[in-house]
Amino acid sequence: MLTQVTSFARNGLADWVIQRVTAVLLGFYAVFLTGFVVATPDLTYEIWRSLFSSTWMQVATLLALLSICAHGWIGMWTIITDYLRRHTAGESADLWRVLSLFGCILLTFAYLVWGTRILWGDLS
C-alpha cells in the first residue's frame, strides 16, 4: 500500500481542507470572470488583454492556477490510490499505480509551467 509520501498533505483532513479551500478560490475566480464577461457587452481583445495585464489579475490567475494544480493532484491521487489496488488488478497494479501517479505529477507540473509562462510571459 502507498504511504502518504505521495501526497502533498500530511493526512486526509489536510487533503480535505486543501480541496475545499481551492474549490472556493476557483469558484470566486469563475464567478468574477463570468461577471466580467456579462458586464462587458463589447468585450474586445484589448479589454481582455488589459484585464490580464494588470498585476492583481495576474496574481489572482496564478492563485487560480495553483489551486487547480493542488485540487487536481489531490483528486487524482485519491482516485488512483483507491481504484488501482493489488487485490483487484493483480501484481501489476502497483506498477500501474506508480506510473499513473508519476504521469499525473508530470502533467500537473507541465500545466503549471505552461500556465505560468503564458501568464507572466511577454504580452506584446
Residue range 53-71, pLDDT digits in tens: 999 999 999 999 999 999 9
Indicate whether 56 belongs to any domain. Answer: yes
Residue 22, pLDDT score? 97
Provide the grid cell at 21. Answer: 479551500
Listed residue (123, 114, 20) closest to 74, CA to CA: 20
Residue 95, pLDDT score? 82
Indicate whether 93 belongs to any domain. Answer: yes
Residue 92, pLDDT score? 67
pLDDT < 50 regions, the chain: 1-2, 5-6, 9, 124
Indicate whether 57 belongs to any domain. Answer: yes
Backbone dihedral region of 90: left (phi > 0), alpha (psi from -120 to 50 degrees) or beta?
left
DSSP 4-17: GGGSSSSSHHHHHH
Residue 21, pLDDT score? 96
Provide the grid cell at 35. Answer: 461577471
Indicate whether 111 belongs to any domain. Answer: yes
Q: What is the C-alpha to C-alpha distance for residues 30 and 71, in angstroms, rounded to an integer?
A: 15
Indicate whether 81 belongs to any domain. Answer: yes
Provide the grid cell at 80. Answer: 488512483
Indicate whether 1 belongs to any domain. Answer: no
Residue 98, pLDDT score? 87
- Residue 61 corresponds to which amino acid? T
Q: What is the C-alpha to C-alpha distance for residues 61 and 105, in angstroms, rounded to an integer?
A: 21
Indicate whether 2 belongs to any domain. Answer: no
Specify the number of domains making up the chain. Answer: 1
Contacts of 35 (CB under 8 A, 6+ apart): none
Provide the grid cell at 65. Answer: 492556477
Indicate whether 3 belongs to any domain. Answer: no
The CATH number covering residue 105 comes to: 1.20.1300.10
Range of the domain at 98: 9-120
Rg of the chain taking only CA atoms, in angstroms? 18
Residue 122, pLDDT score? 64
